[in-house]
Amino acid sequence: MQDFTKKEKALLKKLDTPAKVQDFLNGIPFNFEKRGETLKSPLMVLRTKSAHCFEGALLGAYILSLHGFTPYVLHLKSIKDDYDHIITPFKIEGLWGALSKTNHAVLRYREPIYKNIRELAISYFHEYFLNDGKKTLRQYSQPLNLNTLNKPTRPNGRPGGNWVTSEKDLWYIDKKLDKIKHYDIIPKAHIKNLRKADKIEIKAGKVVEYKKP
């Protein structure tokens, strides 16, 4: 089983604030999954030097856990025509913020200014739209504490799986996050009256950090 090198451990130790972690995540090239879908562990993200939103959220949660934060991830669920998003909520002095690995100009980092998870989640609502301006965010999940997911030692004495250093894709976390309790963001009766995003918002939403190869 692989582990972090001394150099990797030293790097992660320096990333001791959410802002520093977010800057680090931004510097990791976006994973466009050219060879098929992936859900890499934090260790494998560092080794492959690429991450999509879920992989970035896992790495961000792990780094924060090294500095006293609980490693959470949170699912933002959209309609079937759009992509879901995964963020890393964190709490400072009773207020919530979030790390967010994204390739777009929107759906990014949130300062710790929100009183609860609902406030944090709905802060993404107006930025979450398709190229035609249709707003698509519908639900958010309870935060999933990743500390609850490490598998216990096997009967033969060998260590179980670990989401931090696994060499295999972490699809079991994806399934767990799908099953966790979700909450509606808006009443269904209000959906038909939603105003579309403005043209300038749509244009800004098309700005990307990394160009698809």
Per-residue pLDDT of the chain (213 residues; tens, 9 = 90+): 689 999 999 999 999 999 999 999 999 999 999 999 999 999 999 999 999 999 999 999 999 999 999 999 999 999 999 999 999 999 999 999 999 999 999 999 999 999 999 999 999 999 999 999 999 999 999 999 999 986 543 444 444 459 999 999 999 999 999 999 999 999 999 999 999 999 999 999 999 999 998
pLDDT score for 161: 59
| pTM listed for this prediction | 0.94
Per-residue pLDDT at 28: 98
The beta-strand segments (E) located in the chain are 72-78, 85-92, 95-99, 110-114, 137-141, 144-145, 182-184
Dihedral in degrees, nearest 10, Cα atoms 49, 54, 56, 58: -110
CB 76 within 8 A of CB 87: yes
Contact residues for 99 (Cβ-Cβ < 8 A; gap 6+): 18, 21, 22, 25, 56, 57, 60, 61, 64, 87, 88, 90, 109
Rounded to 10 degrees, the C-alpha dihedral 44/59/138/142 comes to 120
Q: What's the pLDDT score for residue 117?
A: 98
pLDDT of residue 160: 41
Q: What are the structural domain ranges in the chain?
A: 6-117+139-183
Give residue 192's pLDDT.
Answer: 96
DSSP SS3 for 51: strand
Record: fold of 6-117+139-183: C8orf32 fold (3.10.620)
Are 111 and 67 in contact by the 8 Å Cβ rule? The answer is no
The reported pLDDT for the residue numbered 159 is 42
CA nearest neighbour of 103 among 20, 28, 38, 37: 28
The answer to whether 210 and 34 are in contact (CB under 8 A) is no
pLDDT of residue 1: 64
User: What pLDDT is stored for residue 155 in this prediction?
Assistant: 41
What single-letter DSSP state applies at residue 78?
Answer: E
